[in-house]
Amino acid sequence: MRTILHLLQKEFLQIFRNRMMLPIIFIMPLLQLIILVNAATMEMKNLNIFIVDQDLSVTSRLLVDRFSASPFFRISNWSTSLDEADETMERGKTDIILNIPGNFERDLVQENRAEVQLLVNAINGTVAGIGYSYAASIIGGFNREIITKWYQLPKNVVTLQSISAKPSFWYNPELNYKVFMVPAVLAILITVIGIFLSGLNIVREKELGTIEQINVTPIRKYQFIFGKLVPFLIIGLVELGFGLTIGKILFNIPINGSLFVLFTTASIYLITILGIGLLISTLASTLQQSIFISYFLIMVFMMMSGLFTSVETMPNWAQTINIINPIAYFMKLVRTILLKGSGFRDIYQDIAALVIYGITILSLATWRYRKTV
Amino acid sequence: MKRFWAFVRKEFFHIFRDKQTLLILFGMPIAQMLIFGFVISNEIRDVGIAILDQSNDVATQQLTDKILSSGYFLLEDKLSNSDEIEEVFRRGKVKEVIVFEPQFEQNLVRTGKANVQIIADASDANLANLISAYTNGIIQDYVNQKNVLIPKPMQIIPEVRMVYNEQLKGSFMFVPGIMALILMLISAMMTSISIVREKEMGTMEILLASPLKPFQIIVGKVVSYIVLAFTNAVTILLLGNFVFGVPIQGSVILLLLECILYIILALSLGILISSITDNQQVAMMISGFALMLPVILLSGFIFPIENMPIILQWVCQLMPAKWFIIIIKNIMLKGVGFGYVWKETLILIGMTILFLSISLKKFKIRLD
Amino acid sequence: MVNRGPIIHVRNLVKKFDDFVANDNLSFDVNPGEIFGFLGANGAGKTTAIRILCGLSKPTSGEIKVAGFDAYNQVDSIKRNIGYMSQKFSLYEDLTVYENIRFYGGIYGIKYQEIKTLAEELIEKLGLTKYRNTLIESLPLGWKQKLAFSVAIFHKPKIVFLDEPTSGVDPITRRQFWEMIYEAAHNGITVFVTTHYMDEAEYCDRVSIMVDGRIEALDTPAELVRIYQTENINNVFIKIARNPDRMTVEK
């Protein structure tokens, strides 16, 4: 027992003597949280729309008014020439072109049907899709408006049925993407600490030869591993607390669940991640290798974890792979604890899975460590 | 000169003998492409929902059937009262609760209007948006079918065309993004780590003491990485083209030249990083993490720049990746020539020169 | 009761790595309080043998007892009773003098209070009082090596293994180092040392020379010089290492 305390004392001294450590642990997350959470939003504002109005009728003007009144669009230009609009788009200055043909009003009233053309700059597919759906909904809303105002229902005609299905969003009523992203960035941050700092630490010792010195002493291997992993467990949890505080202060994210549940879950997750870092350290012989292996793993797991897109939108085989993706578990758990206030009773299945995962990985890693180091 | 090539050869061997690292260097972009191409999508299937049917009539049954047979949703639970909603959300399997008001069908027939509540779990805002939109779509479809015999007046029909990317293929977006990311990562990270490693091992001093000039040492280190990164770029382009159908409308030569420019820029960034630290771990943290997330998030790769707060938009202008992505997209998807991208190219060249001069100065200081 | 038998007892030690025989039937004893020199060319199998004695690897076959403990099953007890110092590394560069002493003392089970007292004594004895809180990386090599040795015997082990301890150190410091070794041996610590400096071989009580996995010579320096009819150990070494076949040693 005393041995472990001595090991911990040495580790902490070494970690904090490294001048770069403190900035990495505190400044990096701060910066990343601020920048990234602010950047990550799927909401659109100020899309540039170029209006080509070849009709110049009352109706077409009204339609255009709807667009200028919308906060999503900014009318960059009016013209009657489609060619002019095309060129602007080619130069990248326009996101959408609304082309209202010359017979718009007449067709609408006489034929009951008129077409307008939306040309969407789809170089950025996401922007295009969302921009198009905004434009379509403005047109749809305008359509409904003029029907109600102008169209006289002839008698004895069955009324149109309509079902109003308005969505309400719980836990995040404004669909605030920051609320979505902060837990995710936190999860990534402590993952980085867990895998990189701990795993690399061990490989570094391997490279420098200091492990040999440890091996001749009475220090047992499990004590050594403990001494290597526990400091980073603690640092990871501190980081989580720090990040959470910043999230609350800067972004006012909800903390609906119990902090105890959160930190317990985080500890289990960290132990798992540290185990993975340890395993990697037994597989790599140089620092460079372990860096790349860790990097690769983090990258793949991160992308599949629901950071950018939801797990539910992934194909089934991908979701199956996620069974061995610890980040996926933690991402889900962090969000659900913070935003929905879930307690142990609600999430015990995922936690159990994580515990099993952690124990397996740690055992595997320790076993390999004993054999090879 | 001969010394120089001997040095370059040593560097080559260093890299190519490390099979593990090579595997990862080439595997990473391929894995990313595959993930982006096949895993990340905006389509849903089998999303868990629960239904609270306060009406239980033919119409609600029809609607329920329609929703469940769409393939998008899976019925996890039938609720009996609204108190159960919170609990079912908390357990996590249900992402959306659909509530039919009492006397649904009656309202629909008598007054022509009925209400459905779509309650979505927005802890995943993305998903919530998506599934409520899909649900609404199905409901509106149902209504339209019912109304199909009734003549609809004054319909404005928008005809949409997606320019430069007819099928709105996601791959058009992520292939350039992955190029920017991978090339930056490989070049910057590998270079900085490799140089710092020599510093740490002490072999840097030996090199400096040799007849090789400092700038020859740096260039020698870097030449092999240029080749590596370039091969990677070509791999990504080929994969993008053959597997995902991303075209190269413009000049291939111009495209490759711009890639090389970007690679050199990333390398110079790596050199800069290596000049500010002597510790491999730190070099990696900076080039891997300080660089990675900003490249992904601030380059316009995933999240559109136009929507960010103004300050951040300025920061984005500093990201080399942003300019590079614009260049590639324009060349590949629009097929434009140099005339259109000269501004961005100039910016990239400027950045490269900046990084290189700072690194050189720092290097010189170290020697004195 | 102190056991007066050999403190290291090796009989027919064989260590194989697949088909390669690194240690071929080694047999030797080391007596308590002895300064035992373990010589041999690079690749002769010295490091392999030392690693086995220190409990870092398991022998393929043979009888090995270190400090009375069996090298197969009682490795932990061996580790508690030995000290080790290698040329590659011994002290943590990013810890101070005091912190290193405290760490190793604690690892070997010395109580906090005792560590404090003994550490201060040691620091003073080595003349490092000014450097108590200096990081090891700032110390010159000679001081590092001396401190490393002191740390290796801080817990008063029965045996201390030294692997090329004086490499790269200036002659004066080497002299001082050997004085510390004498003092340790005088206090009952057995010293098992390998070295490339042949003049240091002369300081040992007995010397063994390994060639190609076998011990080709084992005796006091004086005897070896006499038997091989050379002027010094250096030439004994050259003679043996060059012609391993011509081994007709008659005592």
Contacts with C95 from chain A: Cβ below 8 Å? 10, 13-14, 17
pLDDT at C73 over 80: yes
Within an 8 Å CB–CB cutoff, is residue C133 touching chain A?
no
Task: Identify whether residues B187 and B332 lie together within a single domain.
Answer: yes
Give residue B358's pLDDT band: very low, low, confident or very high (50, 70, 90): confident
Contacts with A175 from chain B: Cβ below 8 Å? 122, 125, 128-129
Residue type, B279: N
B200-220 pLDDT, tens digit per residue, is: 777 777 777 777 777 777 778
B71-115 pLDDT, tens digit per residue, is: 889 999 899 888 898 888 888 889 999 999 888 888 888 877 888
The answer to whether A41 contacts B159, with C-beta atoms less than 8 Å apart, is no
pLDDT at A269 over 90: yes
Taking the CA of residue B203 and the nearest CA in chain A, the distance in Å comes to 15
Q: How far apart are CA A327 and CA A332, in angstroms?
A: 8
Task: Identify whether residues B93 and B229 lie together within a single domain.
Answer: no
Within an 8 Å CB–CB cutoff, is residue C75 touching chain A?
no
**Residue B257 CB contacts under 8 Å (≥ 6 apart), including other chains:** none
CB atoms within 10 A of CB A227: 21
The DSSP secondary-structure symbol of B38 reads: I
Contacts with A212 from chain C: Cβ below 8 Å? 56, 86, 88-89
Please give the distance of CA B148 from its chain centroid, rounded to a whole number: 42
Mean pLDDT of B238-242: 87
The residue written with tokens 């490249």 in the block is B295
pLDDT of B261: 92
In a 13 Å sphere around the CA of B344, the CA atoms on its Cβ side amount to 23
Q: Quote the mean pLDDT of chain B.
A: 83
Q: How far apart are CA C239 and CA C247, in angstroms?
A: 10
Phi-psi domain of C157 (left: phi exceeds 0; alpha: psi -120 through 50; beta: other):
beta
Mean pLDDT of A52-73: 89
Give residue C101's pLDDT band: very low, low, confident or very high (50, 70, 90): very high
Task: Identify whether residues B318 and B345 lie together within a single domain.
Answer: yes
For an interface test with B, the pick among A90, A126, A288 (most B C-beta atoms closer than 10 Å) comes out as A288
Sheet holding C61-66, edge to edge: C20-30, C8-17, C61-66, C69-70
Per-position DSSP letters for A14-71, written without gaps between them: HHHHSTTHHIIIIIHHHHHHHHHHHH-------EEEEEEESS--HHHHHHHHHHHH-T
Architecture of domain C8-242: 3-Layer(aba) Sandwich (3.40)
Of B38, B89, B172, the CB nearest to A340: B89
How much of chain B exceeds pLDDT 70, in percent?
A: 95
How much of chain C exceeds pLDDT 90, in percent?
A: 43
Last residue of a domain, one of B111, B146, B181: B146
In degrees and rounded to multiples of 5, residue A141 shows phi and psi of -65, -40
The answer to whether A208 contacts C104, with C-beta atoms less than 8 Å apart, is no
Q: Quote the mean pLDDT of chain C.
A: 87
The answer to whether A44 contacts B194, with C-beta atoms less than 8 Å apart, is no
Give residue C248's pLDDT band: very low, low, confident or very high (50, 70, 90): very low
> Higher confidence at residue B251 or residue B290?
B251
| E strands, chain C, in order | 8-17, 20-30, 35-40, 61-66, 69-70, 82-86, 159-163, 190-194, 206-211, 214-219
Range of the domain at B226: 7-39+166-367
Interface partners of B (3+ CB pairs, < 8 Å)?
Answer: A
pLDDT of A153: 59
Task: Identify whether residues B199 and B333 lie together within a single domain.
Answer: yes
| Paired tokens of C54 | 């220190």
Task: Identify whether residues B134 and B179 lie together within a single domain.
Answer: no
**Residue A69 CB contacts under 8 Å (≥ 6 apart), including other chains:** none
The answer to whether A116 contacts B164, with C-beta atoms less than 8 Å apart, is no
Task: Identify whether residues B241 and B140 lie together within a single domain.
Answer: no
> Higher confidence at residue B132 or residue B363?
B132
Q: B156 in a domain, yes or no?
A: no
Q: How far apart are CA C249 and CA C1, in angstroms?
A: 38
Tell me how far CA of residue B350 lies from CA of A25, B261, B294, B356, B359, in angstroms. 33, 11, 20, 10, 14
Percentages helix, strand, coil for chain C (3-state, rounded to 5) are 35, 25, 35
Per-position DSSP letters for B214-269, written without gaps between them: HHHHHHHHHHHHHHHHHHHHHHHHHHHHHHH-----S-HHHHHHHHHHHHHHHHHH
Q: What is the CATH number of the domain that holds B132?
A: 3.40.1710.10
Taking the CA of residue B118 and the nearest CA in chain A, the distance in Å comes to 4
Last residue of a domain, one of B146, B176, B204: B146
Q: Find out whether B180 and A135 touch, Cβ atoms under 8 Å.
A: no
pLDDT at C1 over 50: no
CB atoms within 10 A of CB C143: 19
A138-196 pLDDT, tens digit per residue, is: 888 888 778 777 766 555 555 566 777 777 888 877 777 777 788 888 888 888 878 87
Task: Identify whether residues B225 and B277 lie together within a single domain.
Answer: yes
Contacts with C114 from chain A: Cβ below 8 Å? none
Last residue of a domain, one of B118, B146, B174: B146
Chain A interface with C: residues with Cβ < 8 Å = 2-3, 5-7, 9-10, 13-14, 17-18, 208-210, 212-213, 215-220
Q: How far apart are CA B49 and CA B41, in angstroms?
A: 20
Contacts with A108 from chain B: Cβ below 8 Å? 154, 156
- The strand pair at A162-170 and B113-121 is best described as parallel
The answer to whether A218 contacts C106, with C-beta atoms less than 8 Å apart, is no
Q: How far apart are CA B202 and CA A230, in angstroms?
A: 31
> Higher confidence at residue C68 or residue C43?
C68
pLDDT of A38: 75
Residue type, A183: P
Q: Which of C156, C184, C154, C165 is nearest to C33 (CA)?
A: C184
Contacts with B336 from chain A: Cβ below 8 Å? 90
The ipTM assigned to this model is 0.80
**Geometric angle at alpha carbon B283, from B279 and B285, rounded to 5°:** 115
Residue type, B244: F
- The strand pair at C206-211 and C214-219 is best described as antiparallel
**Residue C191 CB contacts under 8 Å (≥ 6 apart), including other chains:** C34, C35, C36, C159, C160, C162, C181, C184, C185
Contacts with A218 from chain C: Cβ below 8 Å? 76, 79-80, 107-109
pLDDT of B280: 77
Q: Find out whether A16 and A22 touch, Cβ atoms under 8 Å.
A: yes
Number of domains into which chain B is organized: 2
Task: Identify whether residues B90 and B179 lie together within a single domain.
Answer: no
Give the largest Cα separation in chain C, rounded: 58
Q: Which of B268, B181, B278 is nearest to B221 (CA)?
A: B268
A286-327 pLDDT, tens digit per residue, is: 777 788 888 888 888 888 887 777 787 788 888 888 888 999
Taking the CA of residue C176 and the nearest CA in chain A, the distance in Å comes to 24
- The domains located in chain A, with CATH, are 2-40+176-372 (no CATH), 47-150 (3.40.1710.10)
Q: How far apart are CA B3 and CA B15, in angstroms?
A: 19
Q: Find out whether A55 and A104 touch, Cβ atoms under 8 Å.
A: yes
How much of chain A exceeds pLDDT 90, in percent?
A: 15
For an interface test with A, the pick among B40, B147, B149, B154 (most A C-beta atoms closer than 10 Å) comes out as B154
Of C82, C89, C161, the CB nearest to A210: C89
Task: Identify whether residues B27 and B65 lie together within a single domain.
Answer: no
Contacts with C47 from chain A: Cβ below 8 Å? none
> Higher confidence at residue A90 or residue C217?
C217
Q: Find out whether C71 and C58 touch, Cβ atoms under 8 Å.
A: yes
Burial letters C110-128, b for 16+ CB under 10 A, else e: beeeebeebbeebbeebeb
Task: Identify whether residues B94 and B227 lie together within a single domain.
Answer: no
Question: What are the residue boundaries of the structural domains of chain C, listed by start?
Answer: 8-242
Q: B152 in a domain, yes or no?
A: no
Give the largest Cα separation in chain B, rounded: 95
Of all residues in chain A, the one with the smallest CA distance to B94 is A312
Mean pLDDT of B56-75: 90
Percentages helix, strand, coil for chain A (3-state, rounded to 5) are 70, 10, 20
The answer to whether C84 contacts A3, with C-beta atoms less than 8 Å apart, is no
pLDDT of C251: 40
Burial letters A131-157, b for 16+ CB under 10 A, else e: bbebbeebbeebbeebbeeeeeeeeee
Q: Which of C69, C14, C60, C10 is nearest to C36 (CA)?
A: C10
Give residue A373's pLDDT band: very low, low, confident or very high (50, 70, 90): low
pLDDT at B132 over 90: no
Tell me how far CA of residue B135 lies from CA of B70, B97, B223, in angstroms. 10, 11, 55
Taking the CA of residue A221 and the nearest CA in chain B, the distance in Å comes to 24
**Residue A140 CB contacts under 8 Å (≥ 6 apart), including other chains:** none
Q: How far apart are CA C230 and CA B327, in angstroms?
A: 79
Q: What is the CA radius of gyration of chain B?
A: 28
| Paired tokens of A174 | 């404004």
pLDDT of C12: 92
Q: Find out whether B158 and A116 touch, Cβ atoms under 8 Å.
A: yes
The answer to whether B159 contacts A313, with C-beta atoms less than 8 Å apart, is no
pLDDT of C244: 54
Contacts with B89 from chain A: Cβ below 8 Å? 170-171, 340
Interface partners of A (3+ CB pairs, < 8 Å)?
Answer: B, C
In degrees and rounded to multiples of 5, residue A344 shows phi and psi of -55, -40
Low-confidence winner among A347-356, B264-273, C210-219, C236-245 (lowest mean pLDDT):
C236-245
B166-192 pLDDT, tens digit per residue, is: 776 667 778 888 888 888 888 888 888
The answer to whether A125 contacts B197, with C-beta atoms less than 8 Å apart, is no
Q: Find out whether A200 and A290 touch, Cβ atoms under 8 Å.
A: yes
The residue written with tokens 């540039």 in the block is A48
pLDDT of A41: 65
Give residue B42's pLDDT band: very low, low, confident or very high (50, 70, 90): low
In degrees and rounded to multiples of 5, residue B53 shows phi and psi of -100, 105
Give residue B13's pLDDT band: very low, low, confident or very high (50, 70, 90): confident
Strand partners, B97: B50, B119
Interface partners of C (3+ CB pairs, < 8 Å)?
Answer: A
The answer to whether C108 contacts A2, with C-beta atoms less than 8 Å apart, is no
For an interface test with A, the pick among C94, C98, C113, C153 (most A C-beta atoms closer than 10 Å) comes out as C94
Low-confidence winner among B53-57, B209-213, C100-104 (lowest mean pLDDT):
B209-213
